[in-house]
Amino acid sequence: MRAELQNDLAALARKGNVYKKVDGGYTYAEVDVTVLDTTTNGDTTTSHITEDGRLHLPFTAAEVADGAPEYEEYSVPHILTFTRDASGAWLLAADKAELDGGPVPSTQIAEPVDAPAPDSENEGDKGTASATTELPSGSVDPKATPDVKVSATTSYNYSAMVRYANKYWKTPSDDFRTYGNDCTNFVSQVMRAGGWKATSGSYASRKDNKKWFYASHTWTTSYTWAGAENWYWFAVKHSKRTKSLNNVWKLASADVLQANWKPRNDNIIDHTMVVTKLYKGTPYLTYHTGNTHNKSLRKLLADHPNAAWYAHRT
């Protein structure tokens, strides 16, 4: 365990240096640990805990007052295993972060795994992914507040979308169930909070990417509600509720960013996020799996240089 920790700390130091180069990194961290339950069986004890952290960003008080995020937040569950040695002392033997496939929190070292899309009709090629080259300063309308954004099709309440994401990024709403990979379920809730209307649908039509609806059971909820790939086709092609952006740096508040972690392996989108803050041209993303609030686009691009990104104007 000691050797593993030393390797992780060295990797985190390298990660921290990359973050510092791309956007200044972090100044300090606040971390709370909540013990959920502990069980002992002979000489082995298992604890389920939650690590909740605030990683403070290098903005001044004046910049925060001007709209800069004060910190990035995350929440990650762990399983800790302790073993008792011959002297009776309990030693930490393992620490497993429960990561379900999305971007890992900044305090973790791991690669996200591909999230297979639910079965649906073959929709063909999505075309060219959004570019990641940063645009010249002043070339894009910053749209710093969601209320001034012109939507892709109609008027939505972007402030309500951002409020919902800010409220439920860590603790899910009791009005909805959660999924093992919960990112798109969360973003669908965000869109609904801002005025997206459900289509009609039933068990028979849940695989139809033209439908988008939530019901009391998974088998009566559309795949587009919680499947990242399926959501893409509903949002862009069938409903045209979003407009594809050719560059991720055009994202504004309440816009959506999706990712395919390994585009050389497939053409399937794995993850969905929503912009909850925009400061001086940099979008800050919020998402479930793993639960993260206001992570900068710069850090996400640095973490996943080989991903394919799909940016949406909502």
Q: Predicted confidence band at 200 (pLDDT cuts at 50, 70, 90)?
A: very high
Out of 19-23, 144-148, 204-208, least confident range? 144-148
Is the per-residue pLDDT at 151 higher than 70?
A: no
Instruction: Work out the mean pLDDT of the chain and round it to a whole number.
Output: 93
Mean pLDDT of 237-259: 97
Q: What percent of the chain has pLDDT over 70?
A: 95
Q: What is the pLDDT of residues 86-132, one digit of tens each?
A: 999 999 999 999 987 889 999 998 888 888 888 887 788 898 999 99
pLDDT of residue 148 exceeding 60, the answer is no
What is the pTM assigned to this prediction? 0.93
pLDDT in tens, 15-72: 999 999 999 999 999 999 999 999 999 999 999 999 999 999 999 999 999 999 999 9
Asked whether the predicted pLDDT for residue 164 surpasses 60, the reply is yes
Q: pLDDT (tens digit, 9 = 90+) per residue, 170-179?
A: 999 999 999 9
The pLDDT score that the predictor gives to residue 144 is 44
Residue 216 has pLDDT above 50, yes or no: yes
CA angle 304, 7, 288 (to 5 degrees): 40
- Tell me: pLDDT of 10 over 80: yes
